[in-house]
């Protein structure tokens, strides 16, 4: 797992270990960032269900203004912090160890881009999509990674589905706030 481009280009990131871990593949990450490449610079980013933090770190490497990384797992938080230290991007980051849905319920922060990549098959993606909508700035985007075949709504509040991509067993759905 590596940073594709920007200030941390080529750096290899640590990932969590274990059978329940499913890091975003480089192919999927490249496709996601290709689709949103002109939306990143100077933006406020949320990496919900952060895992290793690779999506938020990629955004920071591409000159996002800031990123909040949220994950409930203490080992994930440790890996995110290690990856931020390695890439020297920690000064633009806030790392929070808390339940992702609880974070959305207690926070009043607003973001321009949100990455939602919860554990597959748990129903958490739909819950997070509904709860993240008030935290997205007008014109902002939400990128959802999910198993191919999992139905995603056309509209969630003010979020409208823009595009959907398929990569083997993984799909990515991009929403924009009207």
Q: For residue 21, is it within any domain?
A: no
Q: For residue 162, is it within any domain?
A: yes
Q: For residue 10, is it within any domain?
A: no
Structurally, the chain folds into a number of domains equal to 1
Closest C-alpha to 49, from 108, 129, 107, 109: 129
Predicted local confidence at residue 1, as pLDDT: 84
Q: For residue 17, is it within any domain?
A: no
The token pair that represents 108 in the structure block:
């009043």
CATH number at residue 86: 3.40.50.150
| 59: containing domain | 26-177
Q: For residue 66, is it within any domain?
A: yes
Predicted local confidence at residue 16, as pLDDT: 80
Predicted local confidence at residue 21, as pLDDT: 57
pTM for the model: 0.94
**3 state SS for 13-25:** CCCCCCCCCCCCC
The residue assigned the tokens 């969590």 is 16
Predicted local confidence at residue 31, as pLDDT: 86
Mean pLDDT by 10 residues, the chain (178 residues): 91 77 76 92 97 95 98 95 97 97 96 94 92 97 93 95 90 94
Q: For residue 40, is it within any domain?
A: yes
CA distance 96 to 36: 25
Give how far Cα 69 sits from Cα of 46, 51, 57, 100, 156, Å: 6, 9, 9, 10, 23
């Amino acid at each position: 797992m590596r940073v594709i481009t920007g200030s941390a280009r080529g750096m290899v990131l640590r990932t969590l270990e274990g059978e329940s871990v499913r890091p975003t593949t480089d192919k999927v990450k490249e496709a996601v960032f290709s689709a949103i490449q002109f939306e990143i610079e100077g933006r406020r980013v949320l990496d919900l269900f952060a895992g290793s933090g690779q999506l938020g770190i990629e955004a920071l490497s591409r000159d996002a203004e800031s990123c909040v990384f949220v994950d409930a797992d203490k080992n994930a938080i440790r890996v995110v912090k290690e990856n931020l230290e390695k890439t020297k991007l920690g000064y633009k980051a806030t790392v929070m160890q808390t339940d992702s849905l609880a974070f959305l319920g207690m926070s009043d922060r607003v973001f321009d881009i949100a990455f939602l990549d919860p554990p597959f098959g748990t129903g958490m993606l739909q819950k997070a999509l509904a709860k993240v909508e008030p935290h997205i700035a007008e014109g902002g985007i939400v990128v959802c990674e999910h198993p191919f075949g999992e139905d995603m709504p056309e509209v969630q509040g003010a979020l409208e589905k823009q595009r959907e991509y398929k990569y083997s067993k993984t799909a990515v759905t991009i929403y924009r706030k009207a």
